[in-house]
Every structure is written in C-alpha cells, then in structure tokens.
Structure 1
Amino acid sequence: MQVRPKGFWPLAAVFTSFVLFLYGPMSVIFVLSFQGPEGGLTFPLRGWSVHWYEQLAEGLGTVDIGSAFVRSLKLGGAVMVLTIALSVLAGLAFRKRLRGGNTLFYVTVASLIMPSIIVSLGIGLQFRLLDGVFKTVLEWVGAENALAEYTTALGLFTSALGAHLTWTLPFGLLIMFAVFNRFNPAYEEAARDLGATHWQTFRHVVMPLIAPSVVGVGMFGFTLSWDEIARTSQAIGDVNTLPLELQGLTTTVTTPAIYALATITTVVSLLVMVLAVGLASGLARRSRRRGGA
C-alpha cells in the first residue's frame, strides 16, 4: 500500500475546497434550472422538469433571447477569426527584430491591465465623436438623405468588435509568441532547400506544426468574447449581446428561467472548449505521425 506524504491530505483538502469554490456555484445553478413549475430560485427543489427551459424558448417578457444569442455567436465567430489571423501574422512578424517592436508589444498587451469599463467607455466615446464627424461631412457635402438615415457608427461589428479584440488579441499574441519562440526554423530551411516557396513553406510546414496552438487561440477568442460584459456595455450601441441580456434579466426575472439561460450559455462555452481540445489533440497526433513517418 502506497504511503502518502505528510503534506498530502492538507494539500488535497485545499485543492478540493478550491474546486468546490470554483465549480460549486455553477453546479447549483445547473441543478436549480431543472426546478419544477412551482420551484423558486433557491433550494429545496420542488420537482424536476424542463419547464423553465420551455419558458425560456417562449421568451422572457420583451427580451428577445434568440436574437441576442445569435448576435453573440456572430460576434464571437468574428472575434475568433480575427484573433487567429492577427495573432498568427504578428507571431510571424515578431520572429524578426522590428524597429519599435517592443513598444508595439507593450502597447498591445497594455489593455490587459486597463479596467475593462474604462476601455469600453473610451471606445464608445471615440465612436460618438466619429458620429459627429460623419454627420458634419454629410451635411457639408449636402447628402441630406444619407444624413437623415444615419444613426451611429456604434454597432456589433464596429465598436463592439474592436472592444472585444482589445481583450482577446493580447492573449492570442502571447500564445503565438511562446509558440514561435520554441519553433525550430530548421524545418523551414529544409523546405526552402527543397524548392518550396514562402507560401508553400507556411502552408505545408509551419501551419501543421502550429495548428494545435492556433486552435487554442481560436478557443480563447470565442470564449472570451462570448462571456464579455464590461467591454461591451458602453461600446455596442442600441443592441445587446447575450451576456448583457443576462445581466439585465437578473434584476427583473425572479424565476429559475434565469438559471436556464445561464446554463445554456455555460454549456456553449464548455462545448467550444471540448471541441477545441479534441481538435487540438487530433492535430497534434497527426503532426507527430507525420514527423515519425
């Protein structure tokens, strides 16, 4: 029988407490979302049912949950694609010494230490100033019809997209910098010696090797965008994403339907993470098989 070290059980107790503290609230919300029709927001459970999920599908008052869900998916997808593309390109660029590269790097990651609400307020103010500029230009050129129809530049794929990228890009850059810091350039040199162009080298050599990390960058991009509230609140204009709707509903909805919505948003995040880990593992195994061949 294996003898445990003296410090094993205290450390195990600390770890168990941490896991319960981290995942306990999520588990409680998940369980309470299956309350019966007469159930409330707290224990004890009054039966089991999917009544509150059905009510959620029918709608919660004037809030259009379905549209908010679709908006969050679209925004998360756009953030994911741009985070991957910009992070990979930046990782490739920073493999060489760039003039002003250090300054550019610190400016990029500085948004991680800025309060999220300040970033959101700044972006919202910037786009409202742009609104004034656009309206002045339209008035100056005499475009009366366009001026009458113009509302604001704030929107899902303008200000909100930029706000989310200030949060996701630093994580993507740090991951790609770490990947390329360990990347062996001998593979690229061998490909070029065999006559491969720069594009062929990237497509057939570099990309397969870094693909698992690229999947991880995409996962970070989507999940960070999917759950973001503070950076979205002042920068999205007159529409809401699902997290903003969820935040608003916490003050008006007093039934387990709010738990059902929270459960669905959590399940989406978990599914994305599971798919990303599975895809990354598959790509890593494929890369090792190629290397062994």
Structure 2
Amino acid sequence: MVRTREKRPTAFYILAAFFALFVLFLYGPMLTIFILSFQGENGGLTFPMNGFSFHWFVNLFQQQAVGDFGGSFLRSLKLGAIVMVVTVVVSFMAGLAFRWRFRGDTFVFYLAIASLIVPSILISLGIGLLFNIFQIQPHWYSSGLGAHLTWTFPFGLLIMFAVFNRFDPSFEEAARDLGASNWQTIRHVVLPMVAPSLIGVAMFSFTLSYDEFARTLMTAGSLNTLPLEIYGMTTNVTTPVLYALGTLTTVFSFVIIGLAFGAVLLLRRRKTIG
C-alpha cells in the first residue's frame, strides 16, 4: 500500500516563516557580534570586515584606555557565585518549609515573589536610596547582592515548589523507619533526589546575576560589574575590542550552562548505575 504524503496546511508555512524570523531576530545580532569580533587589526565596528585575526581578543587582555575588563569580570564572577550559593541554600530550605502549612504562609509566599512584578530599575533605586538614608556606602557585595537576590530567589523558590510538589514523602518515611534522623534523611534521601533541580537553580541564579544590569545600576557603588562596564564602554570604545568582550562573555555563559547540564547527566548516570 502506497502512502501519500499529506499536504501541509498554509498555516504551517506561515508559522514556520514567523519562527524563522524570530530565530533570526533573536540570534542575528549575537552572530553579527561574533563575526565582527574577528576583524583584522585595522577593522572597524561595521561591515565589511577588514581581514581576519584574533587581534582584538589579545588586545582585550592588555591595558585599556577606557574600561576595566578584568576587575569587572572578577566582580561579576564573585557576585554570581555568592548569589548562586545563597539562592540554592535558601530556596531549598524554603521549599522544605512550605511543604507543610503554617500561619502566614500565603503572605510570606507573596512577599517573597513580589519583587518579580516590580520594575527592576525601581528595585535598584529603592535599595540605593535605602543605603543612602542610612549613610551606608553601596557596594556590589552588599547592596548589589541584595538587589540580585530579589531577582534570583523568587525563581529558585518557584522551582523548588514544583519539585517538592512531586516529591514522594514515602521515601522519607522509609528512611525514618530504618532509624535515620531528620538530618540523615535530608542528606542521604532528599538531597540526592532533588540534586538535579538544585543544579538547575544554581545555573539559573548564576546566569541571571552574571548579566543583570538594571538591578545593579544604582547598587554597585563605585566599582562596576561586567554588564555596567560593557554599557560604559559602548559610549567610549570605538574598536572591535567591545565585540571581543561580548563574544568571550557569551562563550563563558554557554560553558557554565554546559557544565550544569553535564553535572545533571552525571548525577542521573550515577543514579541509574546505583
């Protein structure tokens, strides 16, 4: 019996064209920056390219007339790591706490996620004004950290809610029946089972903090994080070194995502073998 290929409706081609335009709009600028970062030594900020070289990547790690790439990168890296650790720990503990009802739980929940609906720039302005009122000098590791946590913690909390809503408590009951304490149950039963989700929370919180601009604008103090430094460089740097910086930071983000996926796959493989 010969099967005839069913003709696709016109709506399919319209949606396919729309999706192609969306992908082009989403990744086109990024691809353009990638290409222009490999300009020749005498190349500019626009096409056509003047040769091909790694000159601007080398130049990026040399002394710059404007900007502090090395310092801002390290600050963003440290801030992202601190935000990641705090978000993972607090989200996990909050997820455990909200498994049982307690007085005021609804109010606490809405209070925790309220920052998601407040414009980021207002969060940054509010924290900056608060530090100013109390005459405390804002820094990326204090006011900046607090601003970033208002962005990452609600996402971590919602993820852990979804995880624990599907968690089977019979595993914990079995561990306690075998004589395990509460801490042993969490360490040897709960944590291994939710570890892939915690890695997802860690990756999510780090990447959100690493490239956050609006909530850092009024809270970073006198030392810029990488997004603020890049923004400042756009008005002063007139060479493709800015594109090289964008390429390296994007590759770094993809490396972090790849490491997170690798860790999840490793945990799943060990779980299958075990």
- The answer to whether the superposition gives a TM-score over 0.5 is yes
Q: Are residues 1:66 and 2:50 paired?
A: no
Aligned partner of residue 233 in structure 1, secondary structure: coil
Q: What is the aligned counterpart of 2:244 among 235, 252, 260? A: 260
Structure 1 letter corresponding to 2:214: A
Structure 1 letter corresponding to 2:34: F
Q: Are residues 1:287 and 2:271 paired?
A: yes
Q: What is the aligned counterpart of 2:115 among 111, 114, 118? A: 111
Q: Are residues 1:269 and 2:214 paired?
A: no
Structure 1 residue 3, shift from structure 2 partner = 4.4
Aligned length: 270
Q: Are residues 1:27 and 2:31 paired?
A: yes
Q: Who is 1:78 aligned against?
A: 82
Cα 1:246–1:285 shift into 2, 3 Å? same
CA distance in 2, matches of 1:190, 1:153: 52
Aligned partner of residue 189 in structure 1, secondary structure: helix
Gaps of 5+ in 2: none
Q: Are residues 1:38 and 2:42 paired?
A: yes
Q: Are residues 1:5 and 2:5 paired?
A: no
Q: Who is 1:198 aligned against?
A: 182
Structure 1 letter corresponding to 2:245: L
Structure 1 residue 219, shift from structure 2 partner = 0.4
Gaps of 5+ in 1: 132-151
Q: Are residues 1:226 and 2:210 paired?
A: yes
Structure 2 letter corresponding to 1:67: G
Q: Who is 2:125 aligned against?
A: 121
* More displaced stretch, 199-208 vs 6-15: 6-15
Q: What is the aligned counterpart of 1:14 among 10, 14, 18? A: 18
Is the 8 Å Cα contact of residues 59 and 65 (structure 1) preserved in structure 2?
no
* More displaced stretch, 13-22 vs 83-92: 13-22
Q: What is the aligned counterpart of 1:251 among 235, 243, 251? A: 235
Q: What is the aligned counterpart of 2:153 among 161, 164, 169? A: 169
Structure 1 residue 98, shift from structure 2 partner = 1.7
Is the 8 Å Cα contact of residues 83 and 218 (structure 1) preserved in structure 2?
yes
TM-score, length of structure 2 as denominator length: 0.94
Q: Who is 2:58 aligned against?
A: 54
CA distance in 2, matches of 1:61, 1:237: 21
Is the 8 Å Cα contact of residues 75 and 161 (structure 1) preserved in structure 2?
yes
**Identity within the alignment, %:** 58
Structure 1 residue 2, shift from structure 2 partner = 5.6
Q: What is the aligned counterpart of 1:216 among 196, 200, 203? A: 200
Aligned partner of residue 216 in structure 2, secondary structure: helix
Deviations 1:145-199 (A, max 9, x none): xxxxxxx431122100000000000110010000000100011011111111111
